[in-house]
Structure 1
Amino acid sequence: MNTTQLECFATLANTLNYMRAAEELNMTQPAVSRQIQSLEQELGTQLFHRTTRAVSLTQVGAQFLPEAQSMLHTYYHSLDWISHFQNTFHQVLRIGYMDTQAMPLLTAFLRPVLEQQEKLTAEFTLDQTDANLQRLVSGKLDLVFTIKDAKFAHESVVFTPLHEERFYCVCRKDHPLAQKKKRKRDKSVSSEELLPYRQIFDIPPYLLKHVFSRGHRILPVNEEQDNIICANASEACALALCGSGYVLLPDYLLPAHKELAVFSWPESPVTQLGIYSLKTSLADKKSPIYQVIREARAYYEDMAAN
C-alpha cells in the first residue's frame, strides 16, 4: 500500500467519477484504474462497484475510506513537520556549569558564537562538577565550565585552562570586618584578620570529605567559629547578604551587589578556571565547541592586555 493508491482511492470515493478523479490527480484514467485495482488486490477485497454508468463504494470501501483519509493526513502532516524541522533546525551546544554566579561570564563567551551562527543555540545543565564531567564522558554534554578538578582524569577529555583564579573576601558592607577595613582605607585582608569571624564555605557536597580531610586545607579555617557550609557560591552570597559571615570566592564567581564589599586576599591559593571538552571535539576548528573555547581564551587575553 502506498500514498498514490490511497490518493486515487480517496479522490475516486469523493468524485465517484474516473474522469474527474484523473483530472484532480493530474493522471490518466487508466493510471487511476490501475492504482485502484492494485490496492484492491493488495487488500483482497473490492472497494468500488463499477458499471458502465456509475461508480459507487462497496460496504468495505465506505468503511475503509476514513482509514485511508487518516493515513494520508498522517503522511502529509509528517512531511510538513519534517520540512519545518529541517528549515528551523538548531544545533544545540550543551554546556555544564556549577553555579549561577558564573552565567554572566559564560554569556560573554557564548554571545559572539551564537551571533555568528543563527542556527546554533545553547542548553545549560546546572550541577556539581563531578556529575557534569560524567555527562561529558558519556556524550550528554559538549563542554563543562568549571574550576579544574584535581581528582578527575579521563583519556577522552581535555582541560583547556583559561585563567588562574585567586580568592577574594566577600561580606556585607556593614560587617565588622568591612567596617574595620573602611576605617583603615584598606582594600585587602590577611588570613589572620579573617579568623575572628564566621566563615561561609562554598564547597560542593562531593568535595566535602576531600576538603576537610586531615592535613588538607585550601582556605583558612577557624574551627572554633560556628562556620556555615553551602553547596555553591549563590547560596554563600545570599547568606553573606543576610549578614551571616564572610565568604572566600574565586574571581569568576564574585557578585556585583551594592550591599556587598569585596577585598583582595594576598595569601590566596591559585586555582585554574577552564573548560573541559572531549579531545575529538577540538579537531574541527569550525565546530561550536572549538569556537566557544577560542572566544573564552580571547576574553581572558583581552583582560590581561587591559
Structure 2
Amino acid sequence: MNTFQLSCFLAVAETLNFARAAEQLHVTQPAVTQQIHSLEKELGVTLFHRTTRIVRITGEGLAFLGDARRMVDISVQAKKRFEHPGQEAIRTLSVGCHGYAQLFLLSPLFRRLAQQYPDLHPNLRTVPFQHLYRMLDEGEVDLVLAFRQAEIPRGTQSVYRELCRVPMVCICAENHPLAAKKCLAPEDLAPHRLVLLDPARARLEAAQMQGQLIGDRGPAQLYFCESAEAAVVLVEAGFGVSVLPDMFIPPTALLMRIPLEGAEAVSFGVYYKAKALQSDPALKSLVHMLREEHWPREQLRGKE
C-alpha cells in the first residue's frame, strides 16, 4: 500500500462520496475507485459498502481508519522533518482521552510542560475505550487519561495508575422537581425520564447502574446518547435526569449535582507504557504533574 491509496481511503471515509473525495484530492473519480479496490484487495477486506445512492464505511473500514491516519501522519511528518535541515527538532507527545471533558483538564498542565520543553509538540486525541490498549501498545498514543476500564489484558504493555476516585451523581436541570433534594435513592428516579449513555460506550459500572435504573420504563422515557457531553446537553435542556461521574459535568452547566445512595465512586487515572515512561522525559514529567494535580471533586489522591 502507498500514501496515495491511504489518502484516497481517508477522503472517502470523510466524505462518504467518491466524487467529492476525487475533487478534494484533485484526481478523477475512477482513480479514487481504483485505489480503493487495490487497497481492499491487498488487505483482503471490504472497506466500503457502495450502492448507486449511498456509500457506507464497513466495520473493517472503521478498524483500519486509525491505522491509515497514523501512516499518513507519519509520512507527512517524515517529509517535513527534512524540509529545513537546520531547523530545531521537535518533541512529540501524543495524549488521548475518551472525551472532551477530560481533554480540557490538560490545558494548565501543558502550559507548564511547554515551559520545561520548548520544543514540545502535543498531539491530542479522543480515544475509543475499546481501542485503548491497542493504541498504546502500537504507539499511536503515549498516554491516555481515562476512567479505569476492565482488567488490563494479558500480553499488553500498558499500566494503569489511579489519580483519584470520582463520585457518581444524579444531574438534573435547576427547575426539575428533584433539584431541591440533598441526596437521592435509585427509587427516587423511577417517575422521571432518564438520559443515558449508549451501553456500548458506557463503562461497565455505569452500564450496570443504567440497567438497574431503566427498570420497566418504556422507550418514550429513555434518551440514549453517544457521549457524556451529549447527555449533559439533554439534561440541561430539561429532557430528563442522568447519572454520571462528577468529572464529566462542566462547571458552567446550569445543573444540580445530587449524590446518589449506593453509587460507588469510580477510578480515574492514566494508562501508559512503563518502558516509554523511562525513555521519554516529557512523558515522565507529564505523568508526575498528573499525579500531583489537585483533581476536581476528588475523593482519593493517587499515591506515589
Q: Same fold (TM over 0.5)?
A: yes
Task: Return closer, same or farther for 1:233/1:112 CA change in 2, 3 Å cut-off.
Answer: same
Given that 1:135 and 1:141 are in contact with CA atoms closer than 8 Å, whether structure 2 keeps it comes out as yes
**Map of 2:182 onto structure 1:** 187
Residue identity opposite 1:102 in structure 2: Q
User: For 1:292 and 1:83, how far apart are their aligned partners in 2?
Assistant: 29
Q: How does 1:91-240 map to 2 (within 5 A)?
A: 91-153=91-153, 154-178=155-179, 181=180, 186-203=181-198, 205-206=200-201, 216-217=208-209, 220-225=212-217, 226-240=221-235
User: For 2:193 and 2:81, how far apart are their aligned partners in 1?
Assistant: 64
User: For 1:236 and 1:208, how far apart are their aligned partners in 2?
Assistant: 15
Residues 169-224 of structure 1, C-alpha deviations (whole Å, 9 max, x = no match): 1111112211xx1xxxx433222212221221224635589976xxx547741333
User: For 2:136 and 2:234, how far apart are their aligned partners in 1?
Assistant: 32
User: For 2:272 and 2:203, how far apart are their aligned partners in 1?
Assistant: 25
**Map of 2:85 onto structure 1:** 83
User: CA RMSD, aligned part only?
Assistant: 3.1
How far the C-alpha of 1:151 sits from its partner, in A, is 4.8
Q: Which has the larger radius of gyration?
A: 1
User: For 2:146 and 2:246, how far apart are their aligned partners in 1?
Assistant: 12
How far the C-alpha of 1:259 sits from its partner, in A, is 2.2
- Of 283, 286, 298 in structure 2, the residue corresponding to residue 289 of structure 1 is 283
How far the C-alpha of 1:288 sits from its partner, in A, is 1.5
Given that 1:97 and 1:132 are in contact with CA atoms closer than 8 Å, whether structure 2 keeps it comes out as no
Residue identity opposite 1:240 in structure 2: V
- Of 250, 254, 262 in structure 1, the residue corresponding to residue 245 of structure 2 is 250
User: For 2:283 and 2:159, how far apart are their aligned partners in 1?
Assistant: 12
Question: More deviation in 144-153 or 196-205?
Answer: 196-205
> For 1:109, what is the secondary structure of its paired residue?
helix
Q: Scaled by the length of structure 1, what TM-score is found?
A: 0.62
How far the C-alpha of 1:247 sits from its partner, in A, is 1.4
> For 2:284, what is the secondary structure of its paired residue?
helix
> For 1:292, what is the secondary structure of its paired residue?
helix
Task: Return closer, same or farther for 1:168/1:279 CA change in 2, 3 Å cut-off.
Answer: same
> For 1:83, what is the secondary structure of its paired residue?
coil
Identity percentage of aligned residues? 20
How far the C-alpha of 1:267 sits from its partner, in A, is 2.2
User: For 1:202 and 1:136, how far apart are their aligned partners in 2?
Assistant: 25
User: For 1:119 and 1:136, how far apart are their aligned partners in 2?
Assistant: 23
Q: Any stretches of 5+ residues in structure 2 without a counterpart?
A: 1-79
Residues 1:276 and 2:276 are matched in the alignment: no
User: For 2:81 and 2:139, how far apart are their aligned partners in 1?
Assistant: 30
Residues 210-261 of structure 1, C-alpha deviations (whole Å, 9 max, x = no match): 976xxx5477413333222222111111111221111112122122235222
> For 2:170, what is the secondary structure of its paired residue?
strand
Q: Any stretches of 5+ residues in structure 1 without a counterpart?
A: 1-77
User: For 1:103 and 1:157, how far apart are their aligned partners in 2?
Assistant: 20
> For 1:81, what is the secondary structure of its paired residue?
coil
Residues 14-35 of structure 1, C-alpha deviations (whole Å, 9 max, x = no match): xxxxxxxxxxxxxxxxxxxxxx
Q: Scaled by the length of structure 2, what TM-score is found?
A: 0.63
Task: Return closer, same or farther for 1:305/1:203 CA change in 2, 3 Å cut-off.
Answer: closer
> For 1:289, what is the secondary structure of its paired residue?
helix
Question: More deviation in 102-111 or 270-279?
Answer: 102-111
User: For 1:102 and 1:79, how far apart are their aligned partners in 2?
Assistant: 31
Given that 1:240 and 1:247 are in contact with CA atoms closer than 8 Å, whether structure 2 keeps it comes out as yes
How far the C-alpha of 1:291 sits from its partner, in A, is 1.1
Task: Return closer, same or farther for 1:176/1:229 CA change in 2, 3 Å cut-off.
Answer: same
Task: Return closer, same or farther for 1:217/1:165 CA change in 2, 3 Å cut-off.
Answer: same
How far the C-alpha of 1:157 sits from its partner, in A, is 0.8
User: For 1:79 and 1:141, how far apart are their aligned partners in 2?
Assistant: 20
User: For 1:79 and 1:258, how far apart are their aligned partners in 2?
Assistant: 43
How far the C-alpha of 1:99 sits from its partner, in A, is 1.1
> For 2:166, what is the secondary structure of its paired residue?
strand
User: For 2:252 and 2:232, how far apart are their aligned partners in 1?
Assistant: 10
